[in-house]
Structure 1
């Protein structure tokens, strides 16, 4: 049987190797990459192929060229997300924890409300809520940014009977975020279930997140469950795959 071969263009293969070294820390932030000639010798590839590989990683934000000095690993290529940090309600009068967390790292987080309204429940949402697909639910759609750079699309769904007449159905950003409202309603989530997957972006996601080519999205579908066992919130979160990693801790 012939040995399987990677069918991707050689420049993508080389970019994948370098990307893996950056993400693992073997090529740390601030590290200078070897010269084009040295990389060409290492990978047995012509200079044009090496330059194409570096161009891929520059477009993704992993590398930056410094004229007269060389090519270096950027220091802010990924954000580590710890889901448990964002589950609890903010203190009264405080912004949503996601924004507070960004500020703690000297960065400016913001949220732009794209849409609020009722729509037919998607199948995955309907299953989580125990309703029929197509039954009406309330959806809030937002675009999250860090230092004005789009980093995440969030679609949050609620049972219509729970959200009606509350800020969850209002067309304004919620001070403290949805966890604060759910706590006020007496259905603060006490447990969560995440299903995480990757896939190529849709056209809308590609444009909204300003993605470079060849980058998958990180898709998280989260169900929040109150103490009485009722699922009270579903979140579909779409992040740029090259910008994020997720950290879980056991036990919590």
Structure 2
């Protein structure tokens, strides 16, 4: 057997065969493997090579050693982890939180060890909670143990100023859940942003979860937001790869292209604009692009909304995109003579990923171009992120000319584009202006 054209070492082939027998069910949970001597004899090799092959399977979490009895197939009963259940209502008994209730329903013995501390947050927590450098958080650290095995860790971080002297500060189960406590304090979470990455554990994580060497972990970061877009909770879950199945349930809203509508954003749309922006930022981060990797500038968005410059694109009543168009020529990028020219400028153009591939971005640029023309402007302009090379081709293909690139240490944007006002390509769905529904007289 070879992988990528390279021959496998003998100890790897020993591991491959035993692994196949475990996966196919020939060796079931709890089955005793042949001894090291028996494996060495079967493969006409040394005992040390047999041990090396078994060590591979131990590191993968497929078998365990119980000396002097031998090696046995691990009885894997992974925990089903459902990130989307965060805000679902569920019946809880007075002494159980969600995790304990779920395990009880599955007939498993579970507990969680909880400690609470006031700490300086890590950078990733501080940025997601939009805290100042010296602002502390309360962290509820939990090790969740199932059938006497540490299965995962769940560390919830809250700004101290929000939860001071509340039930969240106590190192005990919260039967009704921390989300309910936050709501009672006036910080109800209405949405969450989930980020999942897979990596090898840190030494502290491996020790805390008693991980075998070579066991990867999934890291689930969940940031909870209130109705006005304020982040109030960041949860870090560390999930060992050999102990979890991550399950998502998704419902894709129907997209009734080619008839999307566009309307001015209202104050009630702030959360929608922020969510679309963060959705795009998260996707860019997964592609290794550092664009928009900072908290959304809420005051600027509010000002754009108040001045009628921020717009929402909808499929039916489902927001699928946003664009901001104004007369602001950024003084860091555009020269005074250019700023004096009549132009509109595009900012924060975002299309939801499941609406991608429909040329909706082209439609919004056409709409903005026509809007510029209707206001007797000469140009439609924008500045693009310097490190996002894909955007260069995107805008060039849509009729924009690259004016120049401004490279400033304090700014990551600076690739300047413009196209003539009134220029349209007509390759995407046509945007219909959505007017407000008239109110019937009483």
TM-score (norm 1): 0.76
Q: State how many pairs are aligned.
A: 243
Which is worse superposed, 185-194 or 70-79? 70-79
Alpha-carbon distance in 2 for matches of 1:139, 1:89: 24
Residue 93 of structure 1 aligns to a residue whose secondary structure is coil
Alpha-carbon distance in 1 for matches of 2:61, 2:117: 35
Which is worse superposed, 7-16 or 130-139? 7-16
Q: Which residue number in structure 2 is paired with residue 233 of structure 1?
A: 233
Q: Once the 2 structures are TM-superposed, how far is the Cα of residue 27 of structure 1 from its aligned partner?
A: 4.4
Q: Which residue number in structure 2 is paired with residue 165 of structure 1?
A: 165
Structure 2: tracts of 5 or more residues without a match: 253-442
Task: Answer yes or no: is 1:111 the counterpart of 2:112.
Answer: yes
Alpha-carbon distance in 2 for matches of 1:83, 1:65: 33
Q: Could you list the per-position Cα deviations for residues 165-222 of structure 1 after superposition, in whole angstroms to 9, with x for gaps in the alignment?
A: 2111223332233233234334333322222122222222222111111212221111
Alpha-carbon distance in 2 for matches of 1:20, 1:132: 52
Query: Structure 1 residues 34, 151: closer, same or farther in 2, change over 3 A?
Result: closer
Alpha-carbon distance in 2 for matches of 1:87, 1:19: 39
Question: Contact between 1:28 and 1:73, CA under 8 Å: does it hold in 2?
Answer: no
Query: Structure 1 residues 136, 83: closer, same or farther in 2, change over 3 A?
Result: same
Alpha-carbon distance in 1 for matches of 2:212, 2:71: 19
Alpha-carbon distance in 1 for matches of 2:131, 2:243: 35
Question: Contact between 1:127 and 1:133, CA under 8 Å: does it hold in 2?
Answer: no
Q: Once the 2 structures are TM-superposed, how far is the Cα of residue 237 of structure 1 from its aligned partner?
A: 1.2
Q: Which residue number in structure 1 is paired with residue 334 of structure 2?
A: none
Return the structure number with greater relative CO, CA threshold 8 A, min gap 6: 1
Question: Contact between 2:65 and 2:72, CA under 8 Å: does it hold in 1?
Answer: yes
Alignment RMSD, CA only? 3.8
Residue 201 of structure 1 aligns to a residue whose secondary structure is coil
Alpha-carbon distance in 2 for matches of 1:121, 1:65: 39
Q: Which residue number in structure 1 is paired with residue 98 of structure 2?
A: 97
Residue 189 of structure 1 aligns to a residue whose secondary structure is coil
- The structure with the largest alpha-carbon Rg is 2
Task: Answer yes or no: is 1:121 the counterpart of 2:121.
Answer: yes
Q: Which residue number in structure 1 is paired with residue 182 of structure 2?
A: 182
Residue 175 of structure 1 aligns to a residue whose secondary structure is coil
Alpha-carbon distance in 1 for matches of 2:89, 2:249: 20
